[in-house]
Homo-oligomer: A and B are copies of this chain.
Amino acid sequence: MAKSKNTNKSKSSSQAQSFPPGRIKIAESLKSLLEEKEFGAITTAEIAKVAGVSEALIYKYFKDKRALLYQVLKEYLDQYRMQFELDIKGIKGALNKLRKLVWTHIYVYANNRVLAKLIFLEVRSFPDYYQSETYQWVKKEYSKRLLDIIDEGIRNGEIRDDISPKFIRQVILGGIEHVCLREVIFDQEIFPDELSENLCRLIFEGIERKTAGS
Contact = CB atoms under 8 A, between A and B. Distances in A.
Interface of A: 38, 40, 120-121, 124-125, 177-178, 181-182, 185-186
Contact of A181 (B40, B124, B125, B182): B182
Copies of this chain: 4
Contacts of A177: 182
5 contacts: A38-B125, A121-B185, A124-B186, A177-B182, A185-B185
A65 to B, nearest CB: 15
A124 B40 CA distance: 16
A186 B119 CA distance: 12
Contacts of A121: 185
Among A40, A121, A182, max chain B CB count under 10 A is at A182
A19 to B, nearest CB: 18
